[in-house]
Amino acid sequence: MESVDGFGPEKIIQLYDPLTGMQGVVVIDNTALGPGKGGIRMTSTVGINEVKRLARAMTWKTSLHGLPFGGAKSGIVANPKAMSQKKKAQIVKSFAKAISTISPSEYVAAPDISMAEEEMRIIAGVNGKKSVTGKPSDMGGIPHELGSTGWGVFHSARVAARRIGLSLKGATVAIEGFGNVGLFAAKFLCEAGAKLVAASDSHGMIYSPKGLDYEKLAETKRKERTVTRYKPGRIMPSDAMPGLDVDIIVPAAVPDFITVRDLKHIKAKLIVEGSNIPMTAAMERLLWKKGITVVPDFVANGGGVISSYVEYTGGTPKQMFKIVREKESKNTLKVLKSAEKENITPREAAMDMAKARILRASRTSY
């Protein structure tokens, strides 16, 4: 099997239901620390390789943040925009039934792209409340729509900015992906005094060096379903964002958003990865050589899985916000200090920490 190492993946399961047309894949990457934890995404292009990469990111993320979970991820191959809510519910229910033998013993699911609290309600109804987090509050859940991941990204950015001598007050920020993660990251950064100058979604990017009003932008996104209807501002392609003259970039949507072609154009001092795998480790190293600090995905965007842990253990939203703040702040600082001391990239420092915890757990299990 390709791309197998001493950490995983332990299982790759392909799913198909001819009655509903549901096609899916689950990757259980590593369970040394506990059941595999990871969201379910529904897109028309999701495949094994993407899910494997995301499951591995979850392995590192749960370990780095000291959670009793392993790493996993799953995907449903479908276009939710091209189906009714009834059809989507049927597919989600079919998926839940298909994973019933491994959930929650080996896999604890959560929301991801095009999956939210109501889909988690369906899965919990099939496999039990412990099989999924991000459930509606009336089921004892802590919905991801409260902004846990964006809250964590903000605190990671706050600590990283301070570490490199950048004041958040007045710092210019560009947010790629004005969805659940990017919207809340923007909100908290603006409340801390940062200046939001660019935001993007699947329709394009809105840019204004004079600044975007967060509340107005959020209202535009809600009503018009795209940030590009915001005025005043310049509409640009989303892939122009890495070259903007800003202090901080927060990728918060698609994988592989920043590539080698962007290297010579990037002016930002700090990149905080709100999305999973927005660039390769090789690209992060090239940016590190240029003196640009990149806080890796599994460090910066741990708020979602930390929130899941709080829900899993019966905690409250208030406790969630406190624990996400504490863990994100502590672990971001720890990673950046280690990277500076060892003269390695933040990702390499974080990987060393995550691997060490998994290896210790693996040794004690034999």
pLDDT one-digit tens code per residue, 294-332: 999 999 999 999 999 999 999 999 999 999 999 999 999
Q: What are phi and psi of 195, to 5 degrees?
A: -110, 110
pLDDT for the residue 4: 87
**Residue 364 clears pLDDT 70, i.e. is over it:** no
Indicate the class that CATH gives domain 11-56+72-141: alpha beta
For the entire predicted model, the pTM comes to 0.92
Predicted local confidence at residue 2, as pLDDT: 56
- Percent over 90 (pLDDT), the chain: 94
Domains 11-56+72-141 and 148-303+331-352 share a fold: yes
Cβ pair 168, 157 in contact under 8 A: yes
Mean pLDDT, range 154-162, rounded to an integer: 98
DSSP 111: B
**Cα distance between residue 256 and residue 263, in whole Å:** 13
Q: Which of 136, 116, 141 is nearest to 39 (CA)?
A: 116
Give the pair of three-digit tokens for residue 43. 């897109």
- At 86, the pLDDT band (50, 70, 90 cuts) reads very high
Average pLDDT, the chain: 96
Lowest mean pLDDT among 3-12, 258-267, 321-330: 3-12
Quick check: bond before 278 cis, omega within 30?
no
Q: Single out the residue of 271, 255, 199, 216 nearest to residue 52, CA to CA.
A: 255
Reported as a pLDDT band with limits 50, 70 and 90, residue 116 is: very high
Residue 268 contacts residue 292 (beta carbons within 8 Å) = yes
Which architecture characterizes domain 148-303+331-352 according to CATH?
Answer: 3-Layer(aba) Sandwich (3.40)
Q: Return the pLDDT at 146.
A: 92
Q: Which residues contact 141 (CB under 8 A, 6 or more apart)?
A: 117, 120, 133, 134, 135, 311
Catalytic annotation, pick one of 52, 61, 73, 187: 73
Question: Domain map of the chain by residue range?
Answer: 11-56+72-141, 148-303+331-352
What is the average per-residue pLDDT within 207-216? 98
Q: What is the pLDDT of residue 3?
A: 73
State yes or no: is 341 an active-site residue: no
Across-strand partners of 71? 30, 37
Q: What does the pLDDT read at residue 366?
A: 39
